[in-house]
């Protein structure tokens, strides 16, 4: 019979094993895994490190650890991801929302006029669209994706977060959409083939390749959208894109050649890197 194990001992053991697997942040991950396994908030758990794990809690912990040691993203293991003020159901076939994308929402919130209509393209889990609807209830929010799997997650997340106002569309970028919007947001695939090969294995092994990679220069979809989005923007409307820092100059060239927009502006993420492009019609 195995000896009882405390929270403190479990955390130490988890951290050692995660370090050996070279996960991104072994200490934090050990706390997140154990918190999920015992069903207790992380900070509350850390205040009671002498607590002994039950057999079921120990089994839960080991089950989660086994998957994480194979570099499966914690969000997939837990089946959820946190984004701004909402909790999103995530899983195989849909991209895990990134923290930097939360800043894109900030820009959209500031730029969308009161009571206007907005569109989020390639919505995935619905993170951007659902956040906009929750934080700006005056807006009429639309969300599109070409993937039925992604739209299934987005619709489920709308129900889980008790958000009722988002309209979902199964379309490729703006194909077939005739309305005009004050703001169009898009976190499209923007990684090139070379950079994709250098991504951590947990991304390459588990997250959908189609949601990440966009040709040799990473601009396949961004180029397409910039070439047509002006037709779906109101005068003075904005197209907000998430991009790679290295794409600033190539996108400036695309903007100059387009001649369909009044201005272009680049914004940084919390790490000080160029991460967003805002085009005004």
- 81, 95, 127: which is closest to 209 by C-alpha? 95
Q: How far apart are CA 243 and CA 225, in angstroms?
A: 13
* Contact of 35 with 41, CB cutoff 8 Å: yes
Give the integer Cα–Cα distance in Å for 168 and 172. 13
Element (H, E) at 181: strand 181-186
Integer CA distances (angstroms), 138 to 113, 122, 130, 144, 229, in order: 9, 22, 13, 20, 23
Domains contained in the chain, CATH given: 7-70 (1.10.8), 80-280 (3.40.50.150)
Taking each continuous run of H as one helix and of E as one strand, the counts in the chain are 12, 9
Residue-wise pLDDT tens for the chain (281 aa)? Answer: 467 899 999 999 999 999 999 888 999 999 999 999 999 999 999 999 999 999 999 999 999 999 999 999 999 999 999 999 999 999 988 999 999 999 999 999 999 999 999 999 999 999 999 999 999 999 999 999 999 999 999 999 999 999 988 999 999 999 989 899 999 999 998 888 888 888 888 888 888 877 887 888 889 999 999 999 999 999 999 999 999 999 999 999 999 999 999 999 999 999 999 999 999 99
Sign of the CA dihedral with 71 first, then 77, 79, and 80 last: negative
pLDDT, tens only, 204-249: 888 887 788 788 888 999 999 999 999 999 999 999 999 999 999 9
Distance (Å) of CA 59 to CA 7, 10, 103, 106, 192: 14, 12, 38, 41, 41
> Which of 141, 18, 128 has the alpha carbon at shortest distance from 71?
18
Contacts of 43 (CB under 8 A, 6+ apart): none
In sequence order, the β-bridge partners of residue 82 are: 87
Please give the model's pTM, rounded to 2 decimal places: 0.90
* pLDDT per position as a tens digit, 1-17: 467 899 999 999 999 99
């Amino acid at each position: 019979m195995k000896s009882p194990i405390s929270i403190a001992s479990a955390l130490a053991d988890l951290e050692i094993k995660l370090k050996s697997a070279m996960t991104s942040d072994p200490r934090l991950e050990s706390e997140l895994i154990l918190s999920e396994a015992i069903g207790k908030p992380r900070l509350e758990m850390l205040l009671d490190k002498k607590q002994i794990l039950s057999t079921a809690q120990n089994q839960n912990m080991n089950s989660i650890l086994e998957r994480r040691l194979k570099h499966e993203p914690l969000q997939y293991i837990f089946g959820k991801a946190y984004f701004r003020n909402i909790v999103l159901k995530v899983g195989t076939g849909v991209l895990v929302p990134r923290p930097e994308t939360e800043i894109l929402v900030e820009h959209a919130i500031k730029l969308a006029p009161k009571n206007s209509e907005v569109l989020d393209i390639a919505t995935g889990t619905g993170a951007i669209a659902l956040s906009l609807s929750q934080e700006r209830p005056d807006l009429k929010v639309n969300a599109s994706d070409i993937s039925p799997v992604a739209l299934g997650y987005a619709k489920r997340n709308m129900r889980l977060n008790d958000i009722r106002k988002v309209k979902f569309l199964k379309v490729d970028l703006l194909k077939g959409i005739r309305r005009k919007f004050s703001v169009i947001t898009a976190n499209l695939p923007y990684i090139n083939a070379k950079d994709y090969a250098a991504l951590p294995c947990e991304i390459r092994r588990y997250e959908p390749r189609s949601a990440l990679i966009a040709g040799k220069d990473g601009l396949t979809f961004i180029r397409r959208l910039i070439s047509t989005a002006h037709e779906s923007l109101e005068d003075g409307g904005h197209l907000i894109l998430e991009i790679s820092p290295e794409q600033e100059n190539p996108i400036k060239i695309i903007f100059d050649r387009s001649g369909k927009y009044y201005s272009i502006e680049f914004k940084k993420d919390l790490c000080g890197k160029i991460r967003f492009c805002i085009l005004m019609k």
